[in-house]
Structure 1
Amino acid sequence: MTADSMIATILRQAPADRRASITAWRQLSDILAQRGNQLGDDDIRRSLHALAVLRPRVPEAVRRDCARAIARHGRFAPLVALYANDVPAVSAIMLREVRLAEADWLALLPATSAMARSVLAGRRDLPQGVARALASLGSASVALPQPASAAVEEPAATGQATLEPVADNGPSQISELVRRIDKYQSTRGQPAAPRPPRAAFLFETGPDGVIHWVDGVTRGAVIGLSIAEAAFGGEPGADGVAAGAFRQRAEIINARMLLEGTAAEAGEWRFSALPWFDPATGQFRGYRASARRPQRNETPYGRTATEDSGDSIRQLIHELRSPLNAISGFAQIISGQMFGPVSHGYRAMADAIVADAASVQAIIDDLETAARSDAAPPADSAEEIVDIGAIVTQIERDLAGLLADQRVELSISRVGGPFLGLASDANVRRMVGRLLTALVDVSEPEATLVGQLVTESRHDDMLQLRVVRPAAIRFATAADLLDPGFSPEGEAPGAAVLSLGFSLRLVDSLARAVGGRLDIGHNALTLHLPSATSKAEAGLEAQQGE
């Protein structure tokens, strides 16, 4: 099949869902990357238009993977331009590695953003004509704007172009892009000049509140953060005091800021800032600030922010339980018609609320277990002999509704037996239930989740629940699967609130608490639990031998 006929076939099939959109994106990108220079203008125009329409429906991670693949072998300038005008995380991957002819680069540059040109400015392998063209666009197109005070103090500071993030793409993407570019330049043999650890630093924001200049700490730790919006949940950024003052263009005094990075810069800071305005027009230009480490009396009870993170989670869980129990209790009253007759519609709504509250309660229990296991190693629980085979059978029945909704089949065979384990009944139910639920959530519709419950030898001190990896995580690394934030592409819309990575870490933590473990194999995930059968049989044989 020729390239143009393949494109016509792809464009005739309107993508019905996200998975089809991802497939069409990959196919069109691959065809244009390999054969774009051989296609007619009409096919090129239709393909690029289709990619532009598909882009909002294709996850960023997929677009990053495609950019990485195309950058290695693609030579088609219009496709490179499409990717170069994507979000910074996608654009940077493409522009760091792609190879084009000088004429193609010169045609591409006018259509690129300042961020894209900043990435290109860091490359040392571009043709001389391209480097001259970048220079001719002006330093403002590839350099961070320096504040007036800094320009006076350091008139010809380094002579090395710095990079200009684009504020429109959000603080988190800017900070991540700057960190990646810094890392890339360091691998090119141009490490930034080392700075001694300092207890203070200076920074400046633009009128949008995004920090674009810093002195005293690594740029990647601060550049791209915003003081215009409050950061929550331990994320890097400023607190609500700074955000409120920013909206009023007021002075900021001793606001709180959290940073990530090396030991010298990570953690809590206090900063004060003054707004500054253009002397000629009176236009607001941003804030100039100085930051310092907090004094001992400014940290509650003299503790660091990290010391009480587990206590904070447990306090939050405690505060969630009370309203949740109240909501569930009132719903049960309505469902049971305890205060008088209730219509069928209201009873159905109450039943749904009770079911949803139970699901949220299970999530809260998992979060509490994770917080407790992170705070201290779990104490050994009293040994209890449980029938793991019966528990697995019960969980298979409990998952019938989820399996029907996801259109997934679950098939767990038994090899050997009996399946008696040394653990508490509640912990085994949580481990097995969380493991199977998480894997069902990432299974494709019409797929079969295959597993085995195994006791391979009567002398083996472990019994095993092996589950074959679903297609969505077939090639994921063990590090990814145990990352609390990991959720694979193609995850079912009805997937659990907790991510796959969090669920697997929880299962592994619970298993290790009773002397077992969760193994991440190439083809399967295997839950090992202590066997009571082997110990009982070994003791019986010892008595018979005597």
Structure 2
Amino acid sequence: MIATILRQAPSSRRAGIAAWRQLSDILAQRGNQLPESDVRRALHALAVLRPQVPEKIRRDCAKAIACHGRFAPLVALYAHDVPAVSAAMLRGARLTEADWLALLPATDATARSILAGRTDLPQAARRALAALGSASMALPRPEGAVAESIAAMPETVPENAPSSESQPELHEEPVVSVAPSQISELVRRIDRFQAARHQAAPKPPRTRFLFETGPDGLIHWVDGVTRGAVVGLSIAEAAFGGEPGTDGLAAGAFRQRAEIVNARMMLEGTPEEAGEWRFSALPWFDPATGQFRGYRGTARRPHRNETPYGAPESDGAGDSIRQLIHELRSPLNAISGFAQIISGQMFGPVSQSYRAMADQIVADSAAVQAIIDDLEAAARAGQAPALPAPGDIADLNSILVQVESDLAALLAQQRVELSLSRVGRSFAARAVDANARRMIGRLLTALVDISGPGAALVGQLVAEAAPGDMVQLRVVRPAAIRFASAAELLDPGFSPEGEAPGAAILSLGFSLRLVDSLAHGAGGRLEIGDNALTLHLPSANPLHEADRAAPGGE
């Protein structure tokens, strides 16, 4: 699309405006998915077209795309326009914290003053703005002053531009000309931003940095780590609950204006900067007046003997998932509880329509609760799950009967026939009963979700003696995934054609990964074959035990 637009050189002002709008819209919506070469060419084309597009149109375009302005290089280009255009983009752009931190150093004082008025920026971005100081900001000038500066600027016209006689409409509104050097500098900045953004090589962990605070205890200068990770933190107040900040030792010493020795500091940010630090600092005073001016100190990573009992670092991803689960469960339980009160008319009579809504809320809450349980199971399974205890035995036949009953409503809704035969006598498996239910339920639910109307889902539960001594649940691949590779099926973003509109929120890839993780935790596996998906679980069939003991006794 971009190549087609750039291949047609604008022959008139109207064509240039159309190209500006098209390129801006494509970059705003799909910039993160385009090849880097296309992005560079499109941004350069926008910088060249800007003098030919009236300010009003550029401003209207910025307002239109600001709501989905999530592509940082495009936001940077609009931020370097006149204040009216810059403000239209920066007041509505929604970037990630990392993108804001990368963009701020490339913005001018006016753009920063616009951002300073926003209250919805990420915390690190607000700290970075505060660290840059009021001297790096400027109030937007009134329109008269902008017009005077435009009139004072030397006019720069491209050599191949048509004459004013052939384009009388170009003088309807004042246009800020962009010199080639400005365009080149903007493109260089965007190239540097893209290079830093796509850099995949891990950086070595930081081991030391210097810092300085003001008399209020806020860190305002740092050397050795990025400013956004430290600037704005306070050593005058203790941080609790794992929040970024320092411990009570530092806060107590600050109140006494005493030396701080080996206090703890927690940081957020990139992996090489986040985590625990130890710092020491000395107060300093104005030599002329004796007035307290703050602290100057140095921070380092803790030594091995300073970590209690050599405790390993916690799994950040697992911790964040568990925290998310905790934060989801509390309001969900409250909503479900109130809905049950309404449905049961515990506080008095309730109309039928309200009871019906309450019943639907209870059902939806149960569905979300099941998803949360799956997320928690996945988080636990990813942490080297232990094998089941010797007494953990699950009857897979009984579990399968229960799952078939639970799926009856979904099967009827999607008009899918489920046919699972049994081969063998006993279907006992060495697995935790709850995990076995989750494995079988999640596997069958995911396959029903991607089966088209009128389809038949066929499989077998097999407990015959076999190499490896496993109980197997085999399910023939539905048509939607008949030719999908194992890598595609395990990709959380994979969405097969024909997937039911009401399919589960958790993707097929997530469900299969969860089943495989739980199966490995029980000593089994999920096999993705050419024709079927097979869940293997260690058998606990007494007949197999007897078969194994017989040869040894002869």
Relative distance call for 1:542 and 1:330 in structure 2 (3 A) is: farther
Q: Deviations over 1:334-385 (max 9, x none)?
A: 22333334344333332222111111000011112223334x2223332411
Cα distance in structure 2, aligned partners of 1:304 and 1:342:
51
For the residue of structure 1 that corresponds to 2:388, the secondary structure is: coil
Q: Deviations over 1:91-127 (max 9, x none)?
A: 4xxxxxxxxxxxxxxxxxxxxxx54245x6xxxxxxx
Contact 2:112 2:137 in 1 (8 A): no
Matching residue's letter, 2:538: P
Relative distance call for 1:453 and 1:305 in structure 2 (3 A) is: farther
For the residue of structure 2 that corresponds to 1:328, the secondary structure is: helix
Within 5 A, what are the aligned runs for 1:6-85?
none
1:419 maps onto 2:427 in alignment: yes
Matching residue's letter, 2:442: R
TM-score, normalised relative to structure 2: 0.54
Cα distance in structure 1, aligned partners of 2:117 and 2:177:
15
Relative distance call for 1:316 and 1:460 in structure 2 (3 A) is: closer
Relative distance call for 1:282 and 1:310 in structure 2 (3 A) is: farther
Residue aligning to 1:331? 339
Residue aligning to 1:504? 512
Long gaps (5+) in structure 1 = 1-90, 92-113, 121-132, 146-163, 184-205, 216-225, 259-268
Residue aligning to 2:365? 357
Relative distance call for 1:451 and 1:308 in structure 2 (3 A) is: same
Residue aligning to 1:211? 73
TM-score, normalised relative to structure 1: 0.55
1:238 maps onto 2:238 in alignment: no
Structure of higher CA gyration radius: 2
Residue aligning to 1:302? 267
Residue aligning to 2:209? none
Residue aligning to 2:35? 178
Cα distance in structure 2, aligned partners of 1:135 and 1:348:
60
Most deviating of 503-512 and 324-333 = 324-333
Within 5 A, what are the aligned runs for 1:375-414?
376-383=383-390, 384-414=392-422
Within 5 A, what are the aligned runs for 1:457-536?
457=465, 460-533=468-541, 535-536=544-545
Residue aligning to 2:348? 340
Relative distance call for 1:240 and 1:492 in structure 2 (3 A) is: farther
For the residue of structure 2 that corresponds to 1:369, the secondary structure is: helix
For the residue of structure 2 that corresponds to 1:451, the secondary structure is: strand
Cα distance in structure 2, aligned partners of 1:539 and 1:430:
30
Matching residue's letter, 1:486: F
Q: Deviations over 1:250-298 (max 9, x none)?
A: 4699x8799xxxxxxxxxx999797999852487999978989456535
1:229 maps onto 2:93 in alignment: yes
Contact 1:229 1:238 in 2 (8 A): no
Residue aligning to 1:201? none
Contact 1:115 1:166 in 2 (8 A): no
Matching residue's letter, 2:385: P
Cα distance in structure 1, aligned partners of 2:456 and 2:442:
18
Relative distance call for 1:541 and 1:486 in structure 2 (3 A) is: same
Matching residue's letter, 1:116: T
Cα distance in structure 2, aligned partners of 1:246 and 1:457:
72
Relative distance call for 1:377 and 1:470 in structure 2 (3 A) is: same
Residue aligning to 1:116? 4
1:537 maps onto 2:546 in alignment: yes
Cα distance in structure 2, aligned partners of 1:239 and 1:295:
7
1:166 maps onto 2:23 in alignment: yes
Q: Deviations over 1:35-61 (max 9, x none)?
A: xxxxxxxxxxxxxxxxxxxxxxxxxxx
Cα distance in structure 1, aligned partners of 2:348 and 2:177:
63
RMSD: 4.6
Contact 1:115 1:165 in 2 (8 A): no
Contact 1:230 1:237 in 2 (8 A): no
Cα distance in structure 2, aligned partners of 1:532 and 1:182:
59
Relative distance call for 1:442 and 1:316 in structure 2 (3 A) is: same
Q: Deviations over 1:376-427 (max 9, x none)?
A: 2223332411110111111011100000000111011112231110001100
Contact 1:468 1:525 in 2 (8 A): yes
Cα drift, residue 214 of structure 1: 8.9
Cα drift, residue 247 of structure 1: 10
Contact 1:421 1:463 in 2 (8 A): yes
For the residue of structure 2 that corresponds to 1:342, the secondary structure is: coil
Matching residue's letter, 1:297: V
Cα drift, residue 529 of structure 1: 1.0
Cα distance in structure 1, aligned partners of 2:318 and 2:94:
22
Matching residue's letter, 1:211: P
Cα distance in structure 2, aligned partners of 1:180 and 1:256:
30
Long gaps (5+) in structure 2 = 41-60, 78-88, 151-173, 194-224, 234-243, 245-265, 272-314
Residue aligning to 2:380? 372
Q: Deviations over 1:429-474 (max 9, x none)?
A: 1011001001101100011011111124256421111111111111
Cα distance in structure 2, aligned partners of 1:357 and 1:284:
58
Residue aligning to 2:329? 321
Cα drift, residue 135 of structure 1: 11
Cα distance in structure 1, aligned partners of 2:490 and 2:466:
31
Cα distance in structure 2, aligned partners of 1:317 and 1:239:
29
